Structure 1
Amino acid sequence: MIEVNDIHKSFGDAHILKGISTTFEKGKTNLIIGQSGSGKTVFLKCLLGLFAPEVGSIVYDGKDYSSLSENEKRNLRQEMGMVFQGSALFDSMTVEGNVKFPLEMFTKQSQSEMDDRVNTVLKRVNLVDAHNKFPAEISGGMQKRVAIARAIVMNPKYLFCDEPNSGLDPKTAILIDDLIKEITEEYDITTVINTHDMNSVMQIGEKILFLKDGLKEWEGSKNEIFKTDNEAVTNFVYSSDLFKKVRQMYIEERN
């Protein structure tokens, strides 16, 4: 579990995060949504330890990040997996090399132990025959699965995903959503996803945090988002005709 307590973050005169408090539970898919400029990216970077809030605390399973030593912070960061928006694979490395990279950098495992772990995670993301391919030789959806495999190869306690469906077609996006949710449940990971994809919200949004102008405007589940009367949330979520129709259907059924 990650507990966020009244964090503030500024850059010069720009006050980006203005006192956000929330919790992200283990074994659940926790989504952060909001318009551009709402503070989502800065918030995610604070969770990753890349930015330090001026006020407030972030606590990882009872460990307050700000009170840890540099060595303890380094160890905690090794328990975090990250799936970047553009996958961020190394073009010059094969799929196997990309996934093995964190093990080579941060562990003292033998070559056979690393090979076994890489084989395990590639099998889990359904890429058993892609070891020797390079990123340019595989599809965007496969690249995203490689990125997920690399993110979980160190068996992390925390998984962070930044726009994991960016650039993917709707069918592939659903497959990636399902894969992230399955891995979250199987490995009992605390997963936090930054997204603008409302299909993801409706598909896997067990906990949804909606940010607006650096504030927590609303939080709830994918079912509760249909019930809210918060105008900022409804304007964001139901900006498309499809979700307007879904909401209208829900209202009619409720009445």
Structure 2
Amino acid sequence: MIKVTDLHKSFDDLDVLTGVNAEFEKGKTNLIIGQSGSGKTVFLKCLLGLLVPDSGSIEYNGKAYRHFSKDEKREISKQMGMVFQGGALFDSMTVEENVMFPLKMLTTMSKQEMKDRVEEVLDRVNLRETNHKLPSEISGGMQKRVSIARAIVNKPNFLFCDEPNSGLDPRTASVIDNLIQEITHENDITTVINTHDMNSVFEIGEKIIYLENGVKAWEGNKDNIYKTENKKLIDFVYASNLFQKVRVAQREGL
């Protein structure tokens, strides 16, 4: 679990996060949503340890990051997997080499142990027999699955995803959503997903944090988001006619 208490972050005179409180639950898909400029990217970077908050606390499994020693900070970083928005695969490396990269950097596994683990995670994301292909030789959806395989190869306790459906068609995006959720449940991972995809919200939003101008303006799940009376959230989520119709149907019990 990750617990955030009264988190503040500013850049010069711009306040980006102003007193955010949140809990991201283990074994669930926790989503951060909000308009551009709401602070969700900065929030995610703080959770990853890429940015240092001005004040407030971030706890990982009950211990505040600010109290970690250098060794403990190094250890917690090893427990984090990351799925980047664009996939961030190395173009000159094969699928196998991309997935193996964290093992080479962070473990003392033998070559055979690494190959066995890579085979295991590639099999889990349904990418058998792609080991020796380059990223340019596979589809965008397959590249995203390689990115997920790389993120989980080191058996992380925390999985972070930044716009994992970016650039994907709706059907492929749904496959990626469900894959992330399945992996989260199977491995009891604390998964945090930064997204603007409303399909993801309604499909896998087990815990949702809505940021508005650097403040947590709402939290709930995919079921009770239909019943919210938060006007800004309603305007954000139901911006399209499709989702407006879904909201009306849900409220009328259709």
The alignment's TM-score, normalised by the length of structure 1, stands at 0.99
**2:201 partner SS:** helix
Gaps of 5+ in 1: none
Deviations 1:17-69 (A, max 9, x none): 00000100100000000000000000000000001111110000012111111
Structure 2 partner of 1:154: 154
Aligned Cα root-mean-square deviation (Å): 0.7
| 1:223 lines up with 2:227 in the alignment | no
Structure 2 partner of 1:114: 114
Deviations 1:127-169 (A, max 9, x none): 0110000000000000000000000000000000000000000
Structure 2 partner of 1:19: 19
Matched AA of 1:149:
A
**1:253 partner SS:** coil
**1:101 partner SS:** helix
Matched AA of 1:30:
N
Structure 1 partner of 2:233: 233
Matched AA of 2:146:
V
In structure 2, what is the Cα distance between the partners aligned to 1:142 and 1:118?
A: 15
**2:130 partner SS:** coil
Matched AA of 2:6:
D
Matched AA of 2:101:
F
Structure 2 partner of 1:94: 94
1:253: how far off?
2.1
**2:160 partner SS:** strand
Deviations 1:54-111 (A, max 9, x none): 1110000012111111221011011000000000000000000000000001111101
Matched AA of 1:110:
S
Structure 2 partner of 1:53: 53
* Superposed structure 1 runs of 4+ greater than 3 Å apart: none
Structure 1 partner of 2:198: 198
**1:174 partner SS:** helix
Structure 2 partner of 1:178: 178
Gaps of 5+ in 2: none
In structure 1, what is the Cα distance between the partners aligned to 2:252 and 2:134?
A: 51
1:251: how far off?
2.1
In structure 2, what is the Cα distance between the partners aligned to 1:175 and 1:89?
A: 19
Name the count of aligned residue pairs: 254
In structure 2, what is the Cα distance between the partners aligned to 1:173 and 1:129?
A: 22
